[in-house]
Amino acid sequence: MTAETASASELAPGEGKYVYCIIRNDRSREFGEIGIGNGQRVYSINHKDLSAVVSDTPIVIYDPTRENVLAHEFVNETVMREFTLIPMSFGTVFRSENDVLALLRSTYQAFTDVLDKMQDKIEFGLKILWDRDKVVAAIERDNDEIRRLKDEITRNAASSTYFARMQLGRLVEAAMEDASNRYVTDIHEQLKSVSVASRSNKVIGDRMILNAAFLVDRKDEKGFDEKVKAISLQYEDLLSFKYTGPWPPYNFVNIKLKLEKAT
Amino acid sequence: MGLLTNILLAPFLGPVWGTRFTLDKVDRAVREQLTDDTPIKEDLMALQLKLEMGEIDDDEYVKQETEIMQRLRDVREWRERFGMSVGGGPVRVAEEQETE
């Protein structure tokens, strides 16, 4: 019986604090019942002019399910409408309000510096996937050597050698890599004037050629948006674009917090 | 398991120290595989992309997500068992920094 009660009280929200982000704010703030774990109340814990945006939570490890990740992101999106924020990693849980205050106190200067730097900056995500068949068709159209070799192989289907086919395959692969680099460079170049910084992440799957995040000044949001639309029109026959945001600057804030497991 | 059996039953077993060295290496490889969540996270991102691109529906997503979450939990458990650090769970500011 006692064990059961203990585990039940461990699961009751109240003691732990799930931290979503850090903002500059010196008043008590409420952000609504939108927190992780069935709409917990989201509010601020303040130290001087900094706040941690938190909700109460049992001391648990949160799985990065879509539901949980969306809850985390939704809180940050909501806070972002009013504040420049430093996002915390998904699943960051502190044992108590005091532990959160210790974080704000000990990292006060670093948070302040980053908030200054990120003032009015937002992030956009851009994933670009290509349609292999269409790109290959375009390459065959534009590359004389490949076209000749392919014609030759098709004309002499029976007698064409394994070597010729291998050579064609290699040429196409190389041409595709060239094309991918050319597209990516061109797109980065076009977006440079409307963004402050960019970061390329590892591509996912074999159709993606770009998985990038762009840091954009709020005043350039419209310009960035228009540029992305223009680029996706320019490449609409070859590439598909997955454009997301605005996000908090997840990819551009790199504070190494010295945290340890709270036992 | 298959790899281990192959090594154990190999007809050309070397000197004892050689075998032990190989086993240690296998052990390390297995351990790394059990405790590395990078490929699982990549699978999760790939799954998410499939949903975003409309290649799978919500039901399929949830089904595969459940499997991936289980794999993540398994890795977490192995890491705990091997005394390695585990992401998630309660944290606090590390001692040294508080005194800075």
Question: Residue B5 above 60 pLDDT?
Answer: no
- Does residue B23 register a pLDDT over 90? no
Q: Can you count the helices (H) and strands (E) in chain A?
A: 8, 11
Quickly state the pLDDT bin for A261 (edges 50, 70, 90).
confident
| Record: contact B72-A63, CB cut-off 8 A | yes
pLDDT for res A8: 39
Size of interface A-B (CB pairs under 8 A): 82
Phi-psi region of A43 (alpha: psi -120 to 50; beta: other; left: phi over 0): beta
Q: Measure in Å the smallest separation between the Cα of B81 and chain A Cα atoms.
A: 16
B70: DSSP letter: H
Query: Which of A54, A56, A55 minimizes the C-alpha distance to A13?
Result: A56
Using a CB-CB cut-off of 8 Å, the residues of chain B touching A242 are: 49, 52-53
More confident residue, B50 or A13: B50
In the prediction, which pLDDT does A210 show? Answer: 96
Cβ distance of B91 and A262 shorter than 8 Å: yes
Q: Which residue has the higher pLDDT, A165 or A230?
A: A230
Whether A65 and B85 lie within 8 Å, measured CB to CB: no
In the prediction, which pLDDT does A101 show?
Answer: 96
Question: Is residue A96 pLDDT above 80, yes or no?
Answer: yes
CA distance A203 to A206: 8
pLDDT band at A158 (very low <50, low <70, confident <90, very high): low
Torsion B56-B58-B60-B65 (CA) sign: positive
Domain positions in chain A: 2-119, 123-247
How high is the pLDDT of residue B91? 84
DSSP SS3 for A138: helix
How does DSSP classify residue A206?
S
pLDDT per position as a tens digit, A224-239: 999 999 999 999 989 9
pLDDT tens track for A33-77: 999 998 999 999 999 999 999 999 999 999 999 999 999 999 999
Strand stretches in chain A, DSSP E = 16-24, 30-35, 40-47, 50-57, 85-87, 93-94, 121-130, 197-200, 208-217, 239-247, 259-261
Residue B21 has pLDDT above 70, yes or no: no
- For residue A247, pLDDT over 70 is answered with yes
DSSP string for residues in A44-94: EEEETTEEEEEEEE-S-PPP--HHHHHHHHHHHHHHHTT--EEEPPTT-EE
| Cis before A246? omega within 30 | yes
Over the Cα atoms of chain B, what is R_g?
20
**Does pLDDT of B15 surpass 80?**
no
Q: How far is B36 from chain A (nearest CA, A)?
A: 16
Q: Is B37 in a helix, a strand, or coil?
A: coil
Please report, rounded to a whole number, the percentage of residues in chain B having pLDDT higher than 90. Answer: 30
Q: Which residues, 6 or more positions from B65, have their beta carbon under 8 angstroms from its beta carbon?
A: A65, A66, B44, B47
Give chain B positions within 8 Å (CB) of A106.
Answer: 93, 97-98, 100
pLDDT higher for B13 or A176? A176
Residues in chain B: 100
Mean pLDDT confidence for B3-21: 50
Distances (CA, A) of B81 to A78, B69, B87: 39, 18, 14
Residue among B91, B96, B98 with most chain A CBs within 10 A, to mutate? B91
The amino acid that residue A25 corresponds to is: N
Is the model's pLDDT at A14 over the cut of 50?
Answer: yes
Report chain B residues touching chain A, CB-CB < 8 A: 42, 44-46, 48-49, 52-53, 61, 65, 69, 72-73, 76, 85-98, 100
pLDDT for A165? 85
For residue B100, the chain A residue with the least C-alpha distance is: A106
Six-digit token string for B69? 């979450």
Q: Is B50 exposed, middle or buried (0-12, 13-18, 19+ CB in 10 A)?
A: middle
The Cα of B16 is separated from the nearest Cα of chain A by a number of Å equal to 42
Q: Is the pLDDT of residue B14 over 80?
A: no
Residues A247 and A124: beta-carbon distance below 8 Å: yes
Return the pLDDT at A191: 97
Q: What is the mean pLDDT of residues A168-185?
A: 92
